[in-house]
Chain A
Amino acid sequence: MIAHKKRVGMEVSIAVSHAVQLARAEAIAAYPITPQTHIVEHLSSLVANGDLEAEFIPVESEHSALSACIGCSAAGARTYTATSSQGLALMNEILFITSAMRLPIVMTVANRALSGPLSIWNDHSDIMAARDIGWIQIFTENGQEAFDHSVMAFKIAEDHRVVMPTIVNLDGFILTHVVEAHELMDQETVDRFLPELKPYHKLDIHQPVTMGAFAMPELFTECKMAHQEALTNSYGPILEIWQEWGELTGRHYKPVETYRTEGAKIIIMMMGSLAEVAEAAVDAMRDQGIPVGLVKIRLWRPFPFADLRAALAGAELVVVCDRALSLGGAAGPVLAEVRSAMYPLAVKPQILGYTVGLGGRDVQPEAFEELVRHAQAEVKQGPSQEFYIYGVRG
């Protein structure tokens, strides 16, 4: 049964905070950073007005934001935070500890470039610097997805088969600051979908536990292995929860999304809101008879190897668009991941990588046509570079 069909226009940041409100988050600790601010401002006012029964902790830094979130979650409260760019970088040390302690915190990252030079604008360099933190990481493409995944993230994180912190990425400004039409949910439906948090473990005076004990070499690798297995095994429950949401709302999500990939010899790949621009480009190229399709990675961690290989089956050329650089390396982070996933296959496509849209640089639909033409030429003559930065002035 489809629960709700009315579409409401609102800023995506407000929709995300509304999702957090519907999820009945109980503790929020956050520090302001552009372009995350509208989310936490709105949550603050919801708490101030008693519309959300929660504690809002206006901490003195992002490092303390996530640290306070650890305290909240360890004490048994449903916990949320949001950050961006430098804030995520400042949290870095604690990001790893959060997931190692298996605390089901949900965090929105309003993706923004990392300094320097300082830039408040959108790319994915913040989250890519935090790629290996051991959290579940999801990318969204538009406001509706950001809203949906903000609710679902709690259910995923808290599922006793998962118990893992979860990041929902949405592009700074491009998504956070635009007004879109959202199909919202009523509280009753969300309550049915997302029951009260039952902490897997917590700081309880009736059942005292020690959390955060240190490990000597004879235990450390086993701890890491357990973490790796837990993150990999979250794949099943994630799909199950997305499926349940799909049945509830009619909005279905997959770890790897495809757009017009039937019979496509050329595949463009990316993550985040730029995919909507790429869809327009794919339509235009298809009209010209170019057999091109689009593949978007939604679930970045755990990485959906099988879904990716299935989505790219039949492709001869894959053009991977990164929104971040791996400075001094051989590839952007998404390119590296895709190449690595495809390498073991006997039959594999040519995979070329382009870093696009750094620090808010606009990427028009025509760019993708240009990338495809360039990639085809490069493949013909043999690639001249390990990867390319699109549209950069020399």
Chain B
Amino acid sequence: MEKFGYAESSKFDTYASRMMPRDEFFTSGHRSCQGCGEALAVRWACKAIGKDAIIAHATGCMEIVSSGMPQTAWMHPWIHVAFENTSAVASGIEAALKVLKRKGKLKGPLPKVVAMGGDGGTSDIGLQSLSGALERGHNFTYICWDNEAYMNTGIQRSSATPFGAMTTTTPPGKRSFGQRTWKKDMVAIAVAHGIPYVATASPGYLFDLYFKVKKAVETPGPAYINILSVCPTGWRSATDLSVRLARLATETAVFPLFEVVDGKYRLTVEPPKIRPIRDYLKPQGRFRHLRDPEVEFIQKTVRAKYELLLEKCQAPFPEFSPVHVPEGI
């Protein structure tokens, strides 16, 4: 059921910003760029995560803007180690909390463990440690801040960069139209690990994002959320258009919002009418060089991928998750 275009949640009947937690865990004073969609997503994700959580963060934009010694923007206990190992660090934290709890050294409920990283730290250099942690079934949530390139080092392409996009390592030229490959499907990769909760989210739909993060951290076992993080600096877009672009990504079906619970797909935001891809591409300088044939190809592919997703959402699926091992076996 949809209300105001947002996902249904059993815990909330109505949706209003005044009902959201006022607590701030990602505080002002950090150094993100003007119009950073990622900082907005981080702030709201942290609200959803709640107080009792430990965060492991990969090297990247969000780490750099928020943790310059001797300052920090993080109210949670927070650790940064390196670029590619955040999931492994989170595995360690989760395992340690379990044993300390068993030994009676940790009082109260187990803190939630959340790992965060950018698309490079997730789909490229951090893919191995992420896969390992998902496969081992640690009770943690991984959030990918997907701004679709290595923005921190100066807008180099990653495997999450969309087809056709200009980056500093996929510059358009006489023999190039920009990124030649399609965005790596991290959601499908996460789903393939048989984990109980996978979702996409966007700072254009904050309630949807809030409920998904909440659901993810409350789900026992591993959870993965891919959050589209609009980056005016890297996308060459106006800083006041970030939320608009995040919404356009969903309205044009480039970045559909859905969740996969125990393998079962469900669209959480269904745009009444899919808008043409040009509406999303046009405000972004990274796509400005594209000619009609490339845009048409993108349009066709986006439509085909969206239809496949809709099919998955309609497919019957048995109640099954390999992660939930029954008690007593």
Nearest residue, chain A, Cβ from B76 = A208
Can you list 8 contacts pairing A with B, beta carbon distance less than 8 Å? Answer: A53-B103, A58-B136, A59-B136, A65-B88, A67-B85, A71-B89, A203-B77, A216-B69
Known: A60-B132, A77-B96, A213-B67. A68 touches B89 (CB 8 A): yes
Instruction: Kindly state the separation between the CA atoms of A73 and B100 in the bound complex, as whole angstroms.
Output: 11
Known: A68-B88, A210-B67. A59 touches B51 (CB 8 A): no
The number of A-B residue pairs with CB atoms under 8 Å apart is 163
Nearest residue, chain A, Cβ from B52 = A205
Instruction: Kindly state the separation between the CA atoms of A60 and B98 in the bound complex, as whole angstroms.
Output: 20
Q: Please pick, from B56, B77, B89, B95, the residue contacting A209 in the complex, using a CB distance under 8 A.
A: B77
B251 within 8 A of partner (CB)? no
Nearest residue, chain A, Cβ from B57 = A212
Interface size band for A: 35 or more
Nearest residue, chain A, Cβ from B135 = A60
B119 within 8 A of partner (CB)? no
Is there an interface contact between A213 and B88, defined as CB atoms closer than 8 Å?
no
Instruction: Kindly state the separation between the CA atoms of A93 and B89 in the bound complex, as whole angstroms.
Output: 14
Known: A70-B92, A72-B92. 15 other contacts (CB 8 A): A27-B92, A29-B91, A57-B92, A60-B132, A63-B84, A67-B81, A71-B79, A72-B93, A74-B96, A101-B81, A203-B79, A204-B77, A205-B54, A212-B67, A213-B71
Q: Which of A199-232 contact B (CB under 8 A)?
A: 203-205, 207-216, 219, 223
Which residues of A are found within 8 Å of B79, using beta-carbon distances?
A: 70-71, 74, 203, 210-212
Distance from A294 Cβ to chain B, minimum over Cβ atoms (Å):
41
Is there an interface contact between A54 and B99, defined as CB atoms closer than 8 Å?
yes
Is there an interface contact between B92 and A205, defined as CB atoms closer than 8 Å?
no
Is there an interface contact between B92 and A210, defined as CB atoms closer than 8 Å?
no
Which residues of A are found within 8 Å of B132, using beta-carbon distances?
A: 59-61, 64
B303 within 8 A of partner (CB)? no
Q: Give the most central of A61, A70, A215, A216: most B CB within 10 Å.
A: A70
A contact residues vs B (CB 8 Å cutoff):
26-27, 29, 53-55, 57-61, 63-65, 67-77, 79, 93-94, 97, 101, 203-205, 207-216, 219, 223
Q: Please pick, from B64, B80, B135, the residue contacting A211 in the complex, using a CB distance under 8 A.
A: B80
B102 within 8 A of partner (CB)? yes
Instruction: Kindly state the separation between the CA atoms of A58 and B129 in the bound complex, as whole angstroms.
Output: 12
Is there an interface contact between B93 and A94, defined as CB atoms closer than 8 Å?
no
B90 within 8 A of partner (CB)? yes
Nearest residue, chain A, Cβ from B89 = A71
Is there an interface contact between B99 and A77, defined as CB atoms closer than 8 Å?
yes
Q: Please pick, from B69, B76, B95, B98, the residue contacting A68 in the complex, using a CB distance under 8 A.
A: B95
Nearest residue, chain A, Cβ from B92 = A71
B63 within 8 A of partner (CB)? yes
Which residues of B are found within 8 Å of A203, using beta-carbon distances?
A: 54, 77-79, 93
Which residues of A are found within 8 Å of B88, using beta-carbon distances?
A: 29, 59, 63-65, 67-68, 71
Instruction: Kindly state the separation between the CA atoms of A108 and B77 in the bound complex, as whole angstroms.
Output: 29
Q: Please pick, from B63, B77, B81, B136, the residue contacting A57 in the complex, using a CB distance under 8 A.
A: B136
